[in-house]
Structure 1
Amino acid sequence: MTGIYLLFILILSIFVGFEIIRKVPATLHTPLMSGANAISGITLIGALSLAGGENQHIATWLGFCAVMLATVNVVGGYLVTDRMLAMFKKR
């Protein structure tokens, strides 16, 4: 029964997230990207603590995967933010 509740929360969060992001004006995308990168940085720190802890092997591997994915997210987000901000610079 708990799995059904978790699936319901997942589907609801996907729907709400999509509706919120869809209605963001274009002028706010750069600040929101920077905020999302900061949150991903916090996720990266949590993943590092999970991967480096003395846990079960599956937790260490999941932590390693979380570190890799969060790193890609943070670096990619900052690259996109830098590229968007470069559009506003005078040549």
Structure 2
Amino acid sequence: MIDLLYLYIFILAAFVGYEVISRVPVILHTPLMSGSNFVHGVVLVGSMWALAHAETPIQLVLGFLAVLLGAANAAGGYIVTERMLGMFTTKDKKAVEA
């Protein structure tokens, strides 16, 4: 019964997340995602906690994959942020930095 409740919450969260993100204008998507990089960090910490408490081999594999994908997601978010911030620098500053 508890498993069905978790499945229901997951499906509900997926639908709500899709509806929220689909209504964001394209021009605001990158700033919104770069502003939410802290969420990726929380996901990474949670996946490391889950991996640390894993007992069975399947839990270890899933925990490792969660840490790996969470780290890739967090790193990708920061790369996107750097690229976005690079769009707002002037040409004079780019010449000085190079």
Would the TM-score normalized by the shorter structure come out above 0.5? yes
> How far apart, CA to CA, are the structure 2 residues paired with 1:29 and 1:48?
27
**1:53 paired residue number:** 53
- Aligned residue pairs, count: 90
Gaps of 5+ in 2: 92-98
- How do 1:3-82 residues align onto structure 2 when only pairs under 5 Å count? 8-25=8-25, 26-27=27-28, 29-30=30-31, 32-53=32-53, 55-82=55-82
8 Å CA contact 2:30–2:84 kept in 1: the answer is no
Could you tell which deviates more after superposition, 68-77 or 2-11? Answer: 2-11
CA RMSD of aligned residues (A): 2.4
Distance 1:5 1:49, change over 3 A: closer
Q: How far apart are residue 80 of structure 1 and its match? A: 0.7
Q: TM-score, normalised by structure 1?
A: 0.75
Q: How far apart are residue 78 of structure 1 and its match? A: 0.7
Sequence identity (%): 42
> How far apart, CA to CA, are the structure 2 residues paired with 1:54 and 1:19?
33
Could you tell which deviates more after superposition, 67-76 or 20-29? Answer: 20-29
Gaps of 5+ in 1: none
Distance 1:57 1:7, change over 3 A: closer
Question: Greater CA radius of gyration, 1 or 2?
Answer: 2
> How far apart, CA to CA, are the structure 1 residues paired with 2:14 and 2:42?
21
